[in-house]
Structure 1
Amino acid sequence: MDIIKETYEKIKNMEVRGAGRIARAAANALKEYAETIMHLDDEEFKKKILEAGELLRSARPTAVSLPNAVKYVLNGLKDENPKESVIKKAEEFIISSKNATKNIGKIGAKRIRDGYTILTHCNSEAAIEVIKTAYHEGKDIKVFCTETRPRNQGYLTAKALCDEGIDVTLIVDSAVRYFIKEVDIVVVGADAITANGCLVNKIGTSQIALIAHEARIPFLTAAETYKFHPKTIVGELIEIEERNPEEVVEFEGKYKKIKIRNPAFDVTPSQYIDAIITEIGLIPPQGAWYIIEKYFGWIEHEQ
């Protein structure tokens, strides 16, 4: 169980960040754990794997990639040979996730023209892949990266793009409206997509979408199909994670009477989203229900 607990802590404490990386980390942890308990009989094996899955699922309540990854792997328990199937499902998910990111890059890059200035927020593997692909296609592009307070994930994005040779400018989150006049397109990632096409992403995303809408700048989100939240199709709401206030400011005894709240995500209405870039193509937000119905319809009938 050590690998499960270690992965749980890394996901919860944000040592592992980004919805895709979180999903692959969970799948890999289940795979490695399964390999260590192959000696158990099938019933005991199933019990241990289910417990491991529940622990991993609880690490981050908002990023739907995590429960979807766990669900995909645990589906192997229904097969005739559950031990081998769980390992196979985990390997399938990891490979599929990596391929999905590459496909999103190719599809999304088609929306970026030579000479474009792009704005991005937080540290999205999929959004970065779109920008990198456009650059490696020979397009002359520039990028604005927000700091993404309070964890400053934008620093990671800025470094990743700079390492590729891309022209990057880091800005504070509150400067987006100031710089939007220089921006041609906004590309962000996703932690979850709801059935009605709303985007759940890093706090601050909805404000950027509103600013882009006001300025008539296209706003795109890059989301693998496993980031679509299946249970929202039957009315379940997505829990928005609130994290430790000390991520915002260290108290040190000075701020004990001041209330501090630290929501990690917000919800962007579908009307502010021009398109969702998935590995199977570019879809309007109104098409989110189709993705959920096509890929996750079976969840509706399960607890």
Structure 2
Amino acid sequence: MRDDLQQRIAQVRNDREHGSRWLVHEALLIVRDLARTKIASSDEHMRQLFVTARELAGSRPAMAALSSAVSRVLNVTGGPEAVARAADHLLEEYEEAPARIARYATPYLKGRLMTCSLSGTVLDVLAACQSQIEHIIVLEGRPRYEGRVMAQELQQRGFAVTVITDAQADIFLPQCQAVVVGADSVLANGDVLNKAGTALLGWAARGHQLPFYVLCETLKISPRRWLANPAHRQENLHMLEEKEGAEVWDQAKPGITVRNFYFDRTSFALVAAWVTERGILDQSMIVDIAAQVEKDERHLASG
């Protein structure tokens, strides 16, 4: 495979600055660019496409959209050019999704809102609903402080913004009308994987009887489930992508263990609505979409 494509795959795997929206866009571009690379043998070309797509699909366990996207574009009839066309088509759909999500989200996003992490989808949807939003409170998002970047992006779009530490959420929730977050994955039962701290925010919102809305593309729906049996604890934690403890505390004394999971699971029971480009989903609709994703992923695994 071309060295530049290998470098781009490594960037997707190791990236800690971008949300899943950027990563999906880059993954689709990698597949498209490889599909349009001149390779003498069509069979070898398709083999390389499947190998690359499988590598991308498994590169970020918490980000279902990566696997969903590359699996979908490989599950087409035809050779490399058909894959390239499918990637272009999905890129176009993905770019249009936030505007469609905004149309369905408009009735819910009013007054003062709270959010966490950096989500391109949430940012675009909030911008589309700006005229009816009074103020946005953003959790700063330790340890890499993505919330600060989100706050800057919102401020540049003209929003009134307050940044707080993650631990202050409960203090400011009584001032809010709703909590709105993105998703890195929506599991088959509606559970949400997102920036660590999202689950605590969901529970706090429940305590204050505030609606907790999830804004995401249907590409982020996954056939995976969070398994309650303690025997599957490590399998569950793998989805949450643990990183170096030094990001949290780089000079911890010997004998102090520092943990640093990037993502957590928010129970479906805390979600007031999953708002997508296809409309407001219920759990049965999520199950149906997850089943189709599973078919695409099986095709990718067997190709």
Same fold (TM over 0.5): yes
How far apart are the structure 2 equivalents of 1:91 and 1:225?
17
Answering whether residue 197 of structure 2 is matched by residue 196 of structure 1, we say no
Partner of 2:36: 35
| 2:117 paired residue among 111, 119, 122 | 122
Deviation at residue 18 of structure 1 after TM alignment: 1.2
Residue among 160, 163, 167 paired with 1:170:
163
**266 and 140 in structure 1: CA distance in 2 versus 1, 3 angstrom threshold:** closer
Specify every segment of 5 or more residues in structure 2 that has no aligned partner in the other structure, as ranges. Answer: none
2:100 corresponds to which letter in structure 1? N
Task: Find 2:94's aligned residue among 92, 97, 115.
Answer: 97
For the residues of structure 2 that align with 1:284 and 1:209, how far apart are their CA atoms?
A: 18
TM-score, length basis structure 1: 0.89
| Cα distance between partner residues in 2 of 1:211 and 1:202 | 16
The answer for the alignment partner of 2:26 in structure 1 is 25
Using the aligned pairs only, state the percent identity.
25
Task: Work out the CA distance in 2 between the residues paired with 1:49 and 1:286.
Answer: 33
The equivalences for 1:173-184 within 5 A come to: 173-184=166-177
Q: Which of 189, 205, 220 is 1:212 aligned to?
A: 205
Pick which of 169-178 and 241-250 moved more.
241-250
Root-mean-square deviation (Å): 2.2
Greater Cα shift, 182-191 or 66-75: 66-75
Work out the CA distance in 2 between the residues paired with 1:163 and 1:105.
Answer: 19
Residue 296 of structure 1: CA displacement?
2.9
Q: Is 2:234 aligned against 1:241?
A: no
Give the secondary structure class of the aligned counterpart of 2:36. Answer: helix
Q: How has the CA–CA distance of structure 1 residues 85 and 53 changed in structure 2, closer, same or farther, with 3 Å as cutoff?
A: same
Q: Report the CA distance shift for 1:28/1:246 in structure 2 as closer, same or farther (over 3 A).
A: same
Instruction: Tell me how far 1:224 sits from its aligned partner.
Output: 0.6
Equivalent pair of 2:32/2:87 in contact (CA under 8 Å): yes
Q: CA deviation at 1:146?
A: 0.7
Identify the residue that residue 273 of structure 2 maps to in structure 1.
Answer: 275
Structure with bigger RCO (C-alpha 8 Å, 6+ apart): 2
The alpha-carbon distance between structure 1 residues 180 and 11, as it changes in their structure 2 partners (threshold 3 A), is same
User: C-alpha displacement at 1:51, in angstroms?
Assistant: 1.9
The 1:5–1:167 alpha-carbon spacing in structure 2 relative to 1, beyond 3 Å, is same
Residue in 2 aligned with 1:86?
83
Please say if residues 30 and 90 of structure 1, whose CA atoms lie closer than 8 Å, have aligned partners that are also in contact.
yes
Contact kept, 8 Å, 1:120 with 1:144, in 2: the verdict is yes
SS for the counterpart of 2:144 is coil
> Counterpart in 2 of 1:149?
142
Gaps of 5+ in 1: none
- Cα deviation, residue 98, structure 1: 0.9
Determine helix, strand or coil for the equivalent of 1:110: coil
Q: 2-side partners of 1:300 and 1:166: how far apart?
A: 40
Cα separation, 1, equivalents of 2:141 and 2:40: 46
Q: How far apart in 1 are the matches of 2:171 and 2:283?
A: 27
Per-residue deviation at 1:101? 1.8
Q: Is the 8 A contact 1:198 1:285 kept in 2?
A: no
Q: How far is 1:83 from its partner?
A: 1.5
Aligned AA (2:128): T
1:31 to 1:301, Cα distance in 2 relative to 1, 3 A? closer
Q: CA deviation at 1:14?
A: 2.0
What CA distance in whole angstroms lies between the structure 1 residues aligned with 2:267 and 2:221?
15
